[in-house]
Chain A
Amino acid sequence: SAVISQKPSRDICQRGTSLTIQCQVDSQVTMMFWYRQQPGQSLTLIATANQGSEATYESGFVIDKFPISRPNLTFSTLTVSNMSPEDSSIYLCSVDRAGRETQYFGPGTRLLVL
């Protein structure tokens, strides 16, 4: 299994500000994924982050709102920009060790925007 950590674990932010979430994996992985889970909902993929290239965003998500960095094979960040209360969600980082096999998830970052 993969050990994934996220920082912060939770935060309360003011409308209009930005928050950067960090994801650290215990070993090198090719692909990292960022998901959002809105209250009472299932998980929705925001984007896929490959090292050395721009992230690939899913329909409904844009780089200006959710910029992603992937500086190396064990680390990624997701920024939630110009936040509004609708951005209140759990944000989860995920990795896929062997390519399309078991996918592992971090503990999540619980964000509340006031």
Chain B
Amino acid sequence: KQEVTQIPAALSVPEGENLVLNCSFTDSAIYNLQWFRQDPGKGLTSLLLIQSSQREQTSGRLNASLDKSSGRSTLYIAASQPGDSATYLCAVRNTGFQKLVFGTGTRLLVSP
């Protein structure tokens, strides 16, 4: 059974810092991995999708990497801004299955 864990559970940084969010999964037989952002009381916004054959994906100040063999992904946020404050969720989709398995989330607070 796939289990997804995110560390840290919460992170507070001053504006301008570069930061890394971590995601680990127990079953390396994944099809893809997706990072989402969730603002309080809202739905999810897809940030980046990494296929199992890829090592990383970039979008603006965001860079996500994937090391399938070790069961890890990181989300790197450059030059953080207060508007980045949200909960970040990673989710994996296993080979042969349709459903996403979500991590526990990292709550990020960027202070001005």
B98: min CB distance to chain A, Å? 6
A55: min CB distance to chain B, Å? 13
B43 and A108 contacting across the interface, CB-CB below 8 Å: yes
B102 and A104 contacting across the interface, CB-CB below 8 Å: no
Roughly how many angstroms separate A58 CA and B101 CA in the complex, as a whole number? Answer: 12
Count of chain B residues with Cβ under 8 Å from any Cβ of A?
Answer: 21
B44 to A, closest residue via Cβ: A105
Residues of chain B lying within 8 A (CB to CB) of residue A100: 31-32, 93, 98
Q: Is B65 an interface position by the 8 A CB rule?
A: no
Residues of chain B lying within 8 A (CB to CB) of residue A90: 41
Q: A43: which of B32, B46, B89 is its contact (CB, 8 Å)? A: B89
Q: Is A19 an interface position by the 8 A CB rule?
A: no
Q: Is A96 an interface position by the 8 A CB rule?
A: yes
Roughly how many angstroms separate A75 CA and B44 CA in the complex, as a whole number? Answer: 19
B102 and A43 contacting across the interface, CB-CB below 8 Å: yes
A42 and B89 contacting across the interface, CB-CB below 8 Å: yes
B103 and A42 contacting across the interface, CB-CB below 8 Å: yes
Roughly how many angstroms separate A48 CA and B97 CA in the complex, as a whole number? Answer: 11
B99 and A106 contacting across the interface, CB-CB below 8 Å: no
Given pairs A31-B98, A42-B103, 10 additional interface contacts (CB within 8 A): A1-B46, A42-B102, A43-B44, A43-B102, A44-B102, A48-B99, A96-B98, A100-B32, A107-B42, A107-B43
Name the 7 nearest CB pairs between A and B, nearest first. A105-B44, A107-B43, A43-B102, A108-B43, A42-B102, A105-B43, A102-B49
